[in-house]
Chain A
Amino acid sequence: MKKNKLIIIYAVLIFIFLILYLSLDNKKIYNTEDLVGKKMNEVDLLYFESEGTFNTREIFKNKFVLFNFWASWCAPCRKEHKNLIRLSKNKNLEIIGVNFKDSPQSAKKFLEELGNPFSILAKDPDGKQSINFGIYGIPETILIDKDSNIVKKYVGPLNLKDVNEIRSIVEK
């Protein structure tokens, strides 16, 4: 009697905990990995400091380009910044920074403090252009190849593993 009761209780509890465990694994962070392999959208971006815009397809025709979306208010961006600086030393790669919903002053301060890894710095003050890249949260990083195909997307801060991966893709 007592034993049966115990078995039932354990079975029910194990079931509940299993579900809770599985629900933890359910992906909650939005990602657009599926865009990988497709052509990059053509987007006009504003220069960060000078006037005017540039088109994402016209630049760096024969190089790998890394788009990095960041802001000074974003804590993980600060963490990944040193990895971007590491990548900026790579000759086959140009990094385009897109400053996302930020105030120019604090963005400038951020770069003065931590260094500027970007070949071109663009801004997206209201976050509308970034949507065309499939960006909803930051930091996010997109690697495109010489023919503007999306090779990789990184949601969240870049870590050392990502850096090495990018290096190996670019140097191939």
Chain B
Amino acid sequence: MLNPKAKIRLSILVGAILFSAISIFLIFKTLEDNIIYFYSPSEIKQINDIDTNKSIRVGGMVKDGSIQTKKDEIKFIVTDFKNEIIVTFSGTVPALFAEGKGVVAEGKLQDKEFFLAKRILAKHDENYMPPEINKNLEQNAK
């Protein structure tokens, strides 16, 4: 039989391990639920069942001449030179957002043609492209 002192130590140890295990599980569970996948317009065309509740990122180029500013939103087309998607957004855009520039929009799909953005990321200079876009554009240029 364990003496009372050892009993307390053991229960603390078991408690600590249990608590840690639960926490690690929680980390990964929340991570799974909150990762935001990145898609190009072409990849969106290939998705079979779109989840309109999940946040994703769409990236590509802002099509030339596609930006329209309306009363309550900005509308523009993101292209990867193969396929396009129409993005609507309300709010201020980053300073480097412009036609013909790389853009990443974060938000939700409404269907395969329309994307409702919550956030626009376009922070890069002339010598820099968000790495996520590069790969996709590279493949499509083939």
Contacts and interface: CB of A to CB of B under 8 A. Distances in A.
* Chains A and B directly touch (beta carbon < 8 Å): yes
Interface residues of B, number: 18
A4 interface: no
B8 to A, nearest CB: 25
B138 A101 contact: no
Majority secondary structure of chain A interface residues (helix, strand, loop or mixed): loop
A29 interface: yes
A26 B142 CA distance: 19
Interface stretch (B16-24, B27-35, B107-115, B129-137): B129-137
A29 B127 CA distance: 9
A19 to B, nearest CB: 16
B64 interface: yes
A136 B102 contact: yes
A127 B100 contact: yes
Given A27-B134, A30-B137, A34-B138, A138 B127 contact: yes
User: Contact residue range for chain A?
Assistant: 20 to 34
Interface string A95-125: 0000011000000000000000000000000
A52 to B, nearest CB: 22
Contacts of B99: 128
Contacts of B101: 136
A31 B127 contact: no
Contacts of A71: 126
Most A CB contacts (10 A, CB to CB) among B101, B126, B138 go to B126
Given A74-B126, A128-B64, A131-B100, A29 B141 contact: no
A28 B131 contact: yes
B37 interface: no
Contact of A134 (B64, B127, B141): B141
23 contacts: A30-B134, A30-B137, A30-B138, A31-B134, A34-B138, A34-B141, A71-B126, A74-B126, A74-B127, A76-B127, A100-B126, A101-B126, A127-B126, A128-B64, A131-B61, A131-B100, A136-B101, A136-B102, A136-B126, A136-B129, A137-B126, A137-B128, A138-B126
Interface of A: 26-35, 71, 74, 76, 100-101, 127-128, 131, 134, 136-138
